[in-house]
Structure 1
C-alpha cells in the first residue's frame, strides 16, 4: 500500500499570536527579528510602554533575562542594527584586500 503524499506541517515552539491578542506584544518583544520600531508601528506602544508591559506580564527573573538580552543585542533597535551591519560589512571588505 502506497502512502499518500502530503506536505509536513512545521510546528513552531512559540507560534506568532494574532496581532489583536495582547500576548502579541510579549511575543514580539522576545522575537529577535522584530524591532521596537516595528512594535510601535503595529501597536502604537513605545519602547517604554513595551518594557512596562513586559515587567508586569512575565516573572521577574524572565524580565531581567529579557532586559539583558535586549541590551546586548543590537537587533531590537533599527538604528543600532543598521550601524552594526555597516560595521561588519566594512570589516569584511577590509579583510578581502589583505
Structure 2
C-alpha cells in the first residue's frame, strides 16, 4: 500500500483528512509515511489509540519540522474516524 492507494479523487481517506484538519501536514516530506503509519497502527491496535502508543509507533518516522504534537493528534483523530467507519481492515490487493 502506498499513499496513492488511500482515499479517492473525490474523498480523502479519514487519516488524510485528519492530518489536514489537525495541521499535521507540516512541509509534506514525511506526510505519506506518517499517514500510512497511522493507518497501520489502527489495523494492528484498533481505533482507540493513546498518545503513548502513537509516539512509540512513530519512533522510526522522522519529521524535521516539528515535535510531532499535531501529527500525534491527527493520527488519534484519524484512528477514531476509521473506527467509526469500520475501516480497520486492509483493502483488497489489486490483481
Same structural fold, with TM-score higher than 0.5 when normalized by the shorter chain: no
Taking structure 1 as the reference length, the TM-score comes to 0.27
Pair member with larger Rg:
1
The structure whose residues are more often helix, as a share, is 1
**Higher RCO (CA 8 Å, separation ≥ 6 residues):** 2
Taking structure 2 as the reference length, the TM-score comes to 0.28
